[in-house]
Amino acid sequence: MAFDGKILALARQEIAQRKKDNEDELERRRQRAYAENPQIRALERELTALMSGLAVRALKQGENAGKAARDARSRAEKIISKQGELLLLLGYPEDYIDEIFTCPDCRDTGYVMAKPCHCLKDIYKTMAAKELSSILDLQGQSFEKFDLS
């Protein structure tokens, strides 16, 4: 499928806007949850520190890197579970402060494995159809009015 550069750029802009909107919503959710229970923020920081320290620990432990990864995963699961419990107590879903994606397949990048995602193609097709209909005068056209003569 050959893409028109102008329309493709507009489709990419729409994907980028979706991503930004989702990031903004996630930030609002996190700030709301953190304000209602500061322990949620503390757990988030602990999880971030755990993950960033995992690579360092794995390098230091050499052959025991697998054990370090398993230990970190176990700890991360406990932290995530505790966060979920706290969010439920506040009346939010367990995944309330997880990343938000309009398209989970490409995670709002528009591409999967360097190929256009179905969501980007769908946006492109919609925009291309609008572009075409604005060029062609299709008002009042229908199969009922079609006349071969």
Q: Buried (b) or exposed (e) across 102-113, using 16+ Cβ within 10 A?
A: ebeebebbbeee
Rounded CA separation 76/65 (Å): 16
Amino acid type, 92: Y
Six-digit token pair at 72?
């970190």
Kindly report the pTM of this predicted structure: 0.77
Instruction: Name the average pLDDT for the chain.
Output: 88
Q: What's the pLDDT tens digit per position in 38-95?
A: 999 999 999 999 988 876 766 676 656 677 778 888 999 999 999 999 999 999 999 9
Rounded CA separation 7/126 (Å): 10
pLDDT band of residue 5 (cuts 50, 70, 90) is: confident
